Amino acid sequence: MNADLPKMSLVRQSFDSSEIPDLGTRLREGLRKQLSRDPLPVGSTVAIGVGSRGVSPVVEVVQVLVQELEAAQLHPFIVPAMGSHGGATAQGQATVLRDYGVCEDSVGAPIRATMDTVELGRTSDGITVHLDAAAASAERVIVIGRVKPHTGFRGPIESGLCKMSVVGLGNRKGAESIHAHPLATAIPSAARVAAESGHFLCGIALVENAFDRPACVRVVCPSAFHSTDETLLKTAAKLLPRLPVDQLDGLLVDRMGKNISGSGLDPNVVGMWRRFRELERTPDFGWLAVLGLTPESHGNAVGMGLADLCSQKLISAIDYEVVAMNILTAMALDAAKTPLALPTDQACFDVICGLARRRVDRPLRLGRIKNTLELETFWVSDAVLDDLPLRCEVVPARVPFGFQRDGMILETDAFEVSE
């Protein structure tokens, strides 16, 4: 690294790490309650909808559901609940589930993937509501949803059971139908049609803490999907990990990805104004460079349009057919625009520094994060240190901030503390 570039320090911030100690017990008790409310004949089939977001205990959650359903002499199976993700193909979506560890060997139930849907009805404003055909063939459906702030709109109901029931389980057709309307109103409206259809047994609503662990779980009947989403969204917003500063001259993001955020880069972290330019620039991290894409994204770099710069490493990992399928469904073409691509990670850092120096005549305020989800440790330049709150501390890094001879950043263990 050039000698005149800012010195970077590794910082650790403390978050609320509270998590559910007895997740399995709560799931079992909740599911038994729902089965007593809506008893099913012996031998009935139950579809479990599992999404494309990296809900950390997803294998455990599905295992418990499968075991309880089988104990009730029911026959569960898994369906992908991910809209147009996975390239909008049945095989692609099944592959996404396997990457998260969800397969018949691990959870004890088969995966039935299809892109076919059935129409459940229409909302009062004409939105057609779809349900995955395999799920619709079952006597009942259970949907698993992570409740959190959405990356593309604000409302009393954002990401959660309502969205998963009509966008995730709606496959490509359902996602396209919903995305053709303002999401803040379309999702709750369509979810009422789904909840009243008689197809759903219950929903599993999860809220995660800043360490991607379950902090809250609710097993609720379909009529409670909306109230549960609304209540837990407030909890999720408080637990959402963020950087402890609001202003930087430049920020490096090692990797973006669909398993990190639906937008690859979570605008709740890097600034919602990057998606909606009319909003106030808070937080404002200046020039934003993304260096790579997570393998779990399978080439889906939707959200790269939020960045200003990227490394050729990111470009080389993109599957543009997958990107096109996802972005056309969501009708958010700006999110797929390619940032200025530079040959190496170091070139991105050098350019950020050069651009920032043309704007300010003071020590540069720079940052580096692993991704927009894992923010317990991060790198900042010395000019930022005095602004950090008391819950932050400078810690010894296992690997120094720097670049290899080929210009690629030292990534392995770069955010680990040397104890």
**What size, in residues, is the chain?**
419
Domains of the chain, first to last: 23-239 (3.40.50.11440), 242-394 (no CATH)
- Label residue 54 by pLDDT band (50, 70, 90): low
Other C-beta atoms lying within 10 Å of the C-beta of residue 29: 12
- Label residue 99 by pLDDT band (50, 70, 90): confident
Kindly report the average pLDDT of the chain as a whole number. Answer: 94
324 and 356 Cβ atoms separated by less than 8 Å: no
Average pLDDT over residues 161-175: 96
Average pLDDT over residues 146-175: 94
Per cent of the chain over pLDDT 70 is 98
Q: Which secondary structure element, helix H or strand E, spans residue 353, and what is its range?
A: helix 345-357
Residue 328, SS3 per DSSP: helix
- Biggest alpha carbon distance in the chain? 74
Q: What is the pLDDT of residue 378?
A: 98
Q: What is the DSSP letter of 61?
A: H
CA distances in angstroms from 366 to 94, 99, 235, 283, 398, listed in the order given: 40, 34, 30, 14, 20
pLDDT tens digits, 178-202: 999 999 999 999 999 999 999 999 9
Q: What is the pLDDT of residue 275?
A: 87
Is pLDDT of 319 > 70? yes
Angle between helices 183-195 and 225-239 (to 10 degrees): 140
pLDDT tens digits, 255-312: 999 889 888 999 999 999 898 888 889 999 999 999 999 998 999 999 999 999 999 9
Q: What is the pLDDT of residue 331?
A: 85
Q: What is the pLDDT of residue 88?
A: 85
Q: What is the pLDDT of residue 4?
A: 66
Task: Give the neighbor-by-neighbor strand order of the sheet with 214-220.
Answer: 75-80, 45-50, 140-146, 200-208, 214-220
pLDDT tens digits, 213-234: 999 999 999 999 999 999 999 9
Is pLDDT of 55 > 70? no
Q: 46-60, 155-169, 303-317: lowest mean pLDDT where?
A: 46-60
Q: What are phi and psi of 122, to 5 degrees?
A: -130, 150
Is pLDDT of 1 > 60? no
How much is the pTM?
Answer: 0.86
